[in-house]
A and B are shown apart, each in its own frame.
Chain A
Amino acid sequence: MPKTDINQIKNEFIENYKKIKQRVTICGDSGCLAQGSQKVYEAFNEESRKFGVNACVEITSSCYENSTYVVKSGCQGFCTQGPLVNVGGILYTNVKAEDVPEITEKTLVKGEIVERLLYLDPKTKKTCRGIEDIPFYQKQQRILLADCGKINPEDINEYIANGGYQGLMKSLKMGPDGVIAEVKTSGLRGRGGGGFPTGLKWELARKSKGNEKYMICNADEGDPGAYMDRSLLEGNPHTVIEGMIIAGLAIGAGKGIFYIRAEYPLAAKKVQKGIEYCHKLGLLGKNIMGSGFGYDLEIRYGAGAFVCGEETALMASIEGNRGMPRPKPPFPSEKGLWGKPSAINNVETLACIPYILDKGGKWYASMGVEKSAGTKVFAMTGKSKNSGLIEVAMGTTVKDIVYEIGGGPLKGDEVKADQTGGPSGGVINKENKTMPITYESLQKIGSIMGSGGFIVMDETDCMVDIAKFYLDFCVDESCGKCAPCRIGGYQMLDILKKITDGKAELEDLDKLQNVATAMQKASLCGLGQTAPNPVLSTLRYFRNEYEEHINNKHCPTGRCSKLINFNILKEKCVGCGACKRACPVGAIGGEVRSVHSIDLQKCIKCGQCFTACKFNAVRRG
């Protein structure tokens, strides 16, 4: 059994790193990769050779003096501006492979800045040199994301050099009770949605009788529009691995299991690699660092079932069965995986653990607000100017998130609503925009913290349609075991379809409310209990929109296609034919330079003519 000296690894890395003259960090997260960052990475390696810049791809003792370290990182956060490339603190945005020769020549060789690739702050019209100048980053408090996007996720030594595995070392000295006490002091609550106090969860599992216990990491991130867990696993897998080892120590488990979504192969690969390195260093195995604590980690794949986010369903899936939940109690802390005491935590929760153990529970509790300590990572997407991965202190206001970090709405001045908690959550309307984000405040307005999806919506988004979208998702994902969820969801969706088809009556809203309440109370698991939330929340804040659909058979946003028609305004049409060419079903007729018209029998209301017309001659209503 190897027993490694963590501090020695740290010092060696720091010594080797001194040889590096500069570092080029290219974002290698799935989002930036999709925008072409792999080509940018390859171009840097090639151009460095051409310009005689000694490029090194790994920090070892054999690195050349004054070399340039070219490396891919995890998500750097500012996804709208990707691919992102950080050269010694200078952040280049929207970098294409074609830009690389110029960056190499100017920045790497001469130390000059390529102004045109810097981020331009739309408010001040000034270019920003690095992340400290960019408003998107200024209001954030990046703890978990501090190293994600900076370090090389595949180099355990760099993680160690940045303070990694110090938390584990301290935990091994403190022992399980000390660890649990520290986590309790931190006030950390589950980041997967429920907000259950983590320290308490571990204590319950620890106190359960039995020699065989399991620690499980829920990385089956299924919330549509959320990718925090994937980014953490891809960008800094060792925080989660270290969190899993400490958690295993705390509850007395001999084995930990990563349950990773099969759609995230890159994340699984990085975790697998991380586990292998830990074995080599003796951070996993029969006798971790000579402490007597034996623990191993294993990866199991999810297979695309949202219900497996529910802990008992997840355990059924690991056992090789259909991922269907069972009634609680008994809770997993007493009877979990294979009937043995188990604890399940979400990726982000576990990523907090090494920091808490290294810096102390009190330090963690000093961030955020009283009952919601620490920070929260959100994937901000939708209709805000800036989208990306953000981390804010708990208690930050919605307004700060949307307007300061998100830069406000893409179009117009005001955001219509924000959605948190995905299919289990609800909307935050304009009137609540000054609200600080905490577990309690969100619950009070009918939403939940959820795993961290944060969707910004504008005036063109129909609230009835959004409710229908989320409910449709839950109906599709319902496992069918309990009647309230299986039948209730279907019936609610039926009513929503009637509303968006213009066939509903006002009393249908009462039915909707009744079924929703019954489903919340009677469903077996979290999926069914929370599935009505998007409907109830939009009904609460946007009832007028529902009523407009029902009473006037009109969708104010024009989103519900059954309630709209497209017409061509004679006085505005110049007969250019753009709409005719755009129409996929040949519903538009008319000669060139004469007024066109739409055959409403053929029209499928796709709206392409509306988008194609440059003269505002197509009317939607």
Chain B
Amino acid sequence: MLENDNASTHNLDAIIDKWKDVKGSLVMMLHAVQNEYGYVPREAAMRISQRAGIHLAKIYEVLTFYHFFKLNAPAKYQISVCTGTACYLKGADNVIKELEHELGLKAGETTSDGKFSVAALRCLGCCVLAPVMTINGKIYGQVKPADIPSILREVSKGEE
């Protein structure tokens, strides 16, 4: 995908060149790449390998270690449910169950049309609003499982 997109490759090369001579910067470079594409595409990893002279195995060794890095394209609507302690105590697991039920997937998966993904997220730090979930970064506080269908409807409606 990157080969066909000159502007995109150009940005990628700029990112690689910015970091490649900085000691120990692989994690920072991958952050910048994910920022650009929303995930770290395999083509991008290969490009880093070539241009910065880092073994592809080393890149994947790091990529797969950290929760933050994503290897697949993100869904259009990325739903994250906070599973910090406060959220857990206030029923985050029921929120996840309801999302799984409504969207017909398991946490960590994306719907087949690529529209929704559901993931459990580490503490967001707004424990007062527990249980908390975010859709593309927008925070929904004190979520009740019963609210889920209407929230999902609202999100889909905004699209049309």
- Spell out A's residues near B (CB within 8 Å): 30-31, 34-35, 79-80, 82, 221-227, 230-231, 262-264, 300-306, 317-324, 338, 379, 381-383, 387-388, 419, 422, 453, 455, 457, 461, 469-470, 479, 582, 584-585, 604, 606-608, 612
Give min CB distance, A42 to chain B, whole Å: 17
Residue of B nearest to A229 (CB): B125
Q: Complex formed: what's the CA distance from A326 to B5 in Å?
A: 42
Given contacts A319-B24, A322-B62, A585-B101, 11 further A-B contacts (CB under 8 A): A35-B141, A301-B28, A302-B68, A303-B68, A320-B23, A320-B26, A321-B24, A382-B89, A387-B127, A469-B85, A584-B101
Q: Are B145 and A263 in contact (CB under 8 A)?
A: no
Give min CB distance, B105 to chain A, whole Å: 15
Q: Is there a chain A Cβ closer than 8 Å to B31's Cβ?
A: yes
Give min CB distance, B67 to chain A, whole Å: 4
Query: Provided the pairs A300-B27, A382-B85, A584-B101 are in contact, do residues A31 and B69 lie with their beta carbons within 8 angstroms?
Result: no
Chain A residues with CB under 8 Å of B145's CB are 584, 606, 608
Q: Is there a chain A Cβ closer than 8 Å to B97's Cβ?
A: yes
Q: Is there a chain A Cβ closer than 8 Å to B7's Cβ?
A: no
Q: 6 A-B contacts, Cβ less than 8 Å apart?
A: A226-B125, A303-B27, A303-B31, A455-B89, A606-B98, A607-B94
Chain A residues with CB under 8 Å of B24's CB are 318-321, 338
Contact of A606 among B83, B97, B122 (CB under 8 A): B97
Query: Provided the pairs A304-B68, A320-B25, A607-B94 are in contact, do residues A224 and B122 lie with their beta carbons within 8 angstroms?
Result: yes
**Residues in B122-142 with C-beta less than 8 Å from chain A:** 122-130, 132, 139, 141
Q: Are A80 and B128 in contact (CB under 8 A)?
A: yes
Give min CB distance, B130 to chain A, whole Å: 7
Give min CB distance, B63 to chain A, whole Å: 9
Residue of A nearest to B26 (CB): A320
Chain A residues with CB under 8 Å of B86's CB are 225, 381-382, 387, 455
Q: Complex formed: what's the CA distance from A585 to B89 in Å?
A: 23
Q: Are A457 and B62 in contact (CB under 8 A)?
A: no
Q: Complex formed: what's the CA distance from A607 to B95 in Å?
A: 12
Chain A residues with CB under 8 Å of B130's CB are 381
Query: Provided the pairs A303-B68, A382-B86 are in contact, do residues A222 and B122 lie with their beta carbons within 8 angstroms?
Result: yes
Q: Complex formed: what's the CA distance from A319 to B27 in Å?
A: 9
Query: Provided the pairs A262-B31, A320-B24 are in contact, do residues A225 and B62 lie with their beta carbons within 8 angstroms?
Result: no
* Pair count A-B, CB < 8 A: 139
Q: Are A422 and B97 in contact (CB under 8 A)?
A: no
Q: Complex formed: what's the CA distance from A263 to B80 in Å?
A: 12
Report the contact-size class of chain B (Cβ under 8 Å from the partner).
Answer: 35 or more
Chain A residues with CB under 8 Å of B27's CB are 300-301, 303, 317-318, 320
Q: Is there a chain A Cβ closer than 8 Å to B146's Cβ?
A: yes
Q: Is there a chain A Cβ closer than 8 Å to B61's Cβ?
A: yes
Contact of B123 among A226, A231, A324 (CB under 8 A): A226
Q: Are B128 and A79 in contact (CB under 8 A)?
A: yes
Chain A residues with CB under 8 Å of B98's CB are 584, 606
Chain B residues with CB under 8 Å of A224's CB are 83-85, 88, 122-123
Residue of B nearest to A387 (CB): B128
Q: Are B89 and A461 in contact (CB under 8 A)?
A: yes
Looking at B25, B26, B84, B85, the one whose CB has the most chain A CB atoms below 10 A away is B85
Residue of B nearest to A612 (CB): B146
Give min CB distance, B37 to chain A, whole Å: 16
Contact of A263 among B28, B89, B122, B139 (CB under 8 A): B122
Binary flags per residue of B96-108, CB closer than 8 Å to A gives 1, else 0: 0110011000000
**Residues in B10-34 with C-beta less than 8 Å from chain A:** 23-28, 30-31
Chain A residues with CB under 8 Å of B30's CB are 303
Q: Complex formed: what's the CA distance from A224 to B126 in Å?
A: 11
Q: Are A381 and B94 in contact (CB under 8 A)?
A: no
Residue of A nearest to B141 (CB): A34
Contact of B85 among A82, A231, A320, A453 (CB under 8 A): A453
Residue of A nearest to B149 (CB): A584
Give min CB distance, B131 to chain A, whole Å: 12
Looking at A30, A226, A320, the one whose CB has the most chain B CB atoms below 10 A away is A320
Looking at A34, A264, A304, A457, the one whose CB has the most chain B CB atoms below 10 A away is A34
Q: Are B62 and A34 in contact (CB under 8 A)?
A: no
Q: Complex formed: what's the CA distance from A455 to B87 in Å?
A: 11
Q: Complex formed: what's the CA distance from A382 to B84 in Å?
A: 10
Q: Are A381 and B127 in contact (CB under 8 A)?
A: yes
Q: Which are the 3 A-B pairs with shortest beta-carbon distances? A: A227-B125, A225-B85, A303-B66
Q: Complex formed: what's the CA distance from A321 to B59 in Å?
A: 9
Give min CB distance, A143 to chain B, whole Å: 22
Q: Are B129 and A305 in contact (CB under 8 A)?
A: no
Chain A residues with CB under 8 Å of B128's CB are 31, 35, 79-80, 82, 381, 387-388
Q: Complex formed: what's the CA distance from A305 to B68 in Å?
A: 8
Q: Complex formed: what's the CA distance from A171 to B83 in Å?
A: 42
Q: Complex formed: what's the CA distance from A319 to B61 in Å?
A: 14
Q: Complex formed: what's the CA distance from A262 to B26 in Å?
A: 14
Q: Complex formed: what's the CA distance from A225 to B122 in Å?
A: 9
Give min CB distance, B93 to chain A, whole Å: 9
Q: Complex formed: what's the CA distance from A303 to B27 in Å?
A: 8
Q: Are B66 and A381 in contact (CB under 8 A)?
A: no
